[in-house]
Chain A
Amino acid sequence: MTHANEDFLKTGHIRGDAPPHSPSSQNKKISWVDLCSKLLTLSGTLFIVTGAFFFFAYNWKELSPIWKFSIIQSALFLCTLLCIKYEKSPILSQAFAIGTSSLIGIFLAVLGQIYQTGADSYGLFLLWSILILPFALFYGFAVVWCMFFILSQLGLILWFLQSTHISGPSFHYMLSLLTFYNVIVYVVRELLLNKHFSWLQESWMRHFFVIFMLFSSSLAVITIILEYPDMSTPHFLSLGIFFLIHLGLFLNHIHYNFDGTVLALSLLSVCCVIEAGVMRIFLIKEWGRNFYHFNYIYLAILSIFIFSVGIMLYQRLTKMRGRLT
């Protein structure tokens, strides 16, 4: 056991029966075949993909529309076939599933370019995300689901940007909408967690959704704090969502599904919001000028204090559960 772990054992942050972490990996022999295989696969794939990219870049203008569509559709068909063929190999099948999902987007972009559909870019992303949904359901890969999630979110952002003026309350409406969408995705995932969906079990997927959720909700609150606007419905909505999200995350991941990383992320988001509040008080507000020369010193001390409290709370929470993530 490493020295750091020994300290945590003494202070009660980890259990004594926790599986050893580092020593097993330290004693492992290096498999040069594995290393060469990984390196050659990575560089070989990169070379071939880049080669294909340069080939199309060179000939793209000269190709007729029928050739362009044929090439993309053949690649799409080939990727789908290979994904089914290599179903038992997780890396290859996931790689081909990503290829299929990406080619759908390329196909849509080329379609828009050739026929000049005049559609807005949010339409492309929303349609792309809808079209990869069957693939996500069929393959059940976490990566494809995340791709769907990012594309749909991008579509929503672009829809807001292109259809409304992003300033003042509408910006907060957009962030509230995004946060609400992220919350739905997170809640659905948590509800389906014990329903025998193997691809849902991967913990990084939860962290991925939580990062998006916290980012949009924190950004809304930080902008409210720094801009200090006349409070209206979207502002109250953003504040309410922020409060409820954190309450929900703490309750769920302390009492039911303990997850230290989610707790850490929520604490980090709370710390950033408090830091923004402190900065607002000391640097922008009128009464801050009375002790202007020492504002930065107070801010430095308070920043350290805020993050120290965050760390201490995190330690208390993990100690309360007596285990690591």
Chain B
Amino acid sequence: MSQKHNKKVTLWLSRLKKPFSQDQAHPGDQHPFEITNAQPLTTFIGYMLSLGAFLAVVFLALFIHQNQLTTRFGPLGTLALSTSFIFISFSLHYSTNKQILGLRQIFISQLSLAFMIAGKAIFCFVPFEKNFYDSEWNFVLKAVLITLATYPIYPSQTDRFLSSFITFALIFIENLLYDSAIETKALLVYLLVFTKTSIATLVFVLRPASNVFIPLGYAAMMALLFQALFWLYPGLFYNHSDSINKTIVSAIMSLGLIAILLMNVRFRRNTIELYIGVILSLTLLIVFCLDGVLGALFCIIAGYIGHHQYLKRIGFSFLPVFIIAYYYSLEINLLQKSILLGATGILMFIIRWYILMRYGDKKEIS
């Protein structure tokens, strides 16, 4: 009996020691966002798991709200509640055998995911009044802390993607809402854009062997698009976005694109006009502050390089949105707009014709 018990404990401890080893082993955890060329079976299981867990989180949140647990327990009690939820989630996750996907394992995986999300959400709402980070950034700081703490050790790609994306989005929104100096606000936006671009570039260009960082890459990319979408409606919260120089934002994002191209395209003399074209296009995109278009292009190119089908689809879906939004916002009359758009379209087709004529037979430039 004791030997059996010891074996179980050793197995459990070995799993805790090697959390990364399970990152690619449990198909049930794989969310379609992170899998390249995901199999339909895995995609379906991913969606069903997430849906079950999502419903459970909603009901757990309603339970906490209905019984006013956060008010009853106070700050420390709420902190204990969130910690216990996260601990339960870890225990459930590491106590199941991931090689066999039976009813018990599927149930426990969903329960674990639900506890993790609920635990993190409660942690962010812990009502600390006086503490070492007593500021309006409380909520964001807690979100960053809990994401950083759980990301490497909790191997659920859905949770990783959601936590990272929500954290990026929270930092961006909090920065616009928080009543600080405009210079600080702008500086933080540039820093955030740089961080997100760097993460996306590193994940999708360097392509690390483990898929641990892929949800982070997706989250960074989606956060860049979210930010560009947010700017389409500058009056949504406060009109702070006018004070932020979008040329700098576009320039930072184009740096990521240049890095991707530099890492993946070999320079040849006979393709010099292509490089000139790329530089010219990027310059125009920066000058006209088309950060959304840059983000969509970033998705498409990174998706092509890394063979990420979902990334490509996201890019191709968002590209028309940002192009239409840009032309819609131009302050010229409809006739001028129509001429401008028609001329641009014809120019695009001329460039396409030239590229196909010049390089069409060679097919592979890189």
User: How far apart sit A31 and B55, CA to CA, in the bound complex (Å)?
Assistant: 43
CB-defined contacts of A11 to chain B, threshold 8 Å: 99-101
Q: Which of B21-66 contact A (CB under 8 A)?
A: 24-28, 30, 35-37, 39-42, 44-45, 48-49, 51-53, 55-57, 59-60, 62-63, 66
B274-303 interface code vs A (CB 8 A; 1 in, 0 out): 100000000000000000000001001100
In the complex, what's the smallest C-beta–C-beta distance from A260 to chain B, in angstroms? 6
Most buried by A among B36, B63, B297: B63
Whether A43 touches B334, Cβ cut-off 8 Å, given contacts A35-B301, A37-B356, A308-B52, is: no
CB-defined contacts of B59 to chain A, threshold 8 Å: 296-297, 299-300, 303
Choose one: A33, A49, A59; the contact of B365 (CB below 8 Å).
A33
User: How far apart sit A3 and B346, CA to CA, in the bound complex (Å)?
Assistant: 47
Choose one: A25, A42, A293, A299; the contact of B37 (CB below 8 Å).
A25
Task: Establish whether residues A300 and B60, one from each chain, have CB atoms under 8 Å apart when the complex forms.
Answer: yes
Whether A26 touches B307, Cβ cut-off 8 Å, given contacts A33-B362, A40-B348, A57-B334, is: yes
Task: Establish whether residues B41 and A296, one from each chain, have CB atoms under 8 Å apart when the complex forms.
Answer: no
CB closest chain-B residue, reference A5 = B39
In the complex, what's the smallest C-beta–C-beta distance from A131 to chain B, in angstroms? 28
Task: Establish whether residues B37 and A308, one from each chain, have CB atoms under 8 Å apart when the complex forms.
Answer: no
In the complex, what's the smallest C-beta–C-beta distance from A6 to chain B, in angstroms? 9
Choose one: A10, A42, A308; the contact of B110 (CB below 8 Å).
A308
Instruction: Determine, out of A65-73, A97-105, A222-230, A310-318, the stretch whose residues face the partner at the interface.
Output: A310-318
A48-89 interface code vs B (CB 8 A; 1 in, 0 out): 111111110111000000000000000000000000000000
In the complex, what's the smallest C-beta–C-beta distance from A271 to chain B, in angstroms? 8
CB-defined contacts of B149 to chain A, threshold 8 Å: none
In the complex, what's the smallest C-beta–C-beta distance from B31 to chain A, in angstroms? 12
In the complex, what's the smallest C-beta–C-beta distance from A320 to chain B, in angstroms? 13
CB-defined contacts of A44 to chain B, threshold 8 Å: 345-349, 352
User: How far apart sit A31 and B265, CA to CA, in the bound complex (Å)?
Assistant: 11
User: How far apart sit A40 and B354, CA to CA, in the bound complex (Å)?
Assistant: 11
In the complex, what's the smallest C-beta–C-beta distance from A251 to chain B, in angstroms? 20
CB-defined contacts of B60 to chain A, threshold 8 Å: 296-297, 300
Task: Establish whether residues A58 and B335, one from each chain, have CB atoms under 8 Å apart when the complex forms.
Answer: yes
Most buried by A among B316, B347, B359, B365: B365
CB-defined contacts of A260 to chain B, threshold 8 Å: 40-41, 44
Whether A311 touches B48, Cβ cut-off 8 Å, given contacts A43-B348, A51-B340, A51-B342, is: yes
Whether A300 touches B63, Cβ cut-off 8 Å, given contacts A35-B300, A310-B48, is: yes
Task: Establish whether residues A40 and B352, one from each chain, have CB atoms under 8 Å apart when the complex forms.
Answer: yes
Q: Is B181 an interface residue (CB 8 A)?
A: no
CB closest chain-A residue, reference B113 = A304
Task: Establish whether residues A307 and B319, one from each chain, have CB atoms under 8 Å apart when the complex forms.
Answer: no
B63-106 interface code vs A (CB 8 A; 1 in, 0 out): 10011000000000000000000000000000000011111001
Q: Which of A172-231 contact B (CB under 8 A)?
A: none
CB-defined contacts of B24 to chain A, threshold 8 Å: 2-4
Task: Establish whether residues B307 and A48, one from each chain, have CB atoms under 8 Å apart when the complex forms.
Answer: no
Task: Establish whether residues A325 and B56, one from each chain, have CB atoms under 8 Å apart when the complex forms.
Answer: no
Most buried by B among A36, A53, A318: A36
CB closest chain-A residue, reference B333 = A58
User: How far apart sit A271 and B49, CA to CA, in the bound complex (Å)?
Assistant: 12
In the complex, what's the smallest C-beta–C-beta distance from A218 to chain B, in angstroms? 14
Q: Is A32 an interface residue (CB 8 A)?
A: yes
Given A40-B352, A51-B337; 7 other pairs, CB 8 A cutoff: A32-B366, A33-B365, A42-B316, A47-B323, A55-B335, A55-B338, A308-B110
Interface residues of A, Cβ cutoff 8 Å to B: 2-5, 7-8, 10-11, 13-14, 21-22, 25-26, 28-37, 39-55, 57-59, 260-261, 264, 268, 271, 275, 293-294, 296-297, 299-301, 303-312, 314-315, 318, 324-325
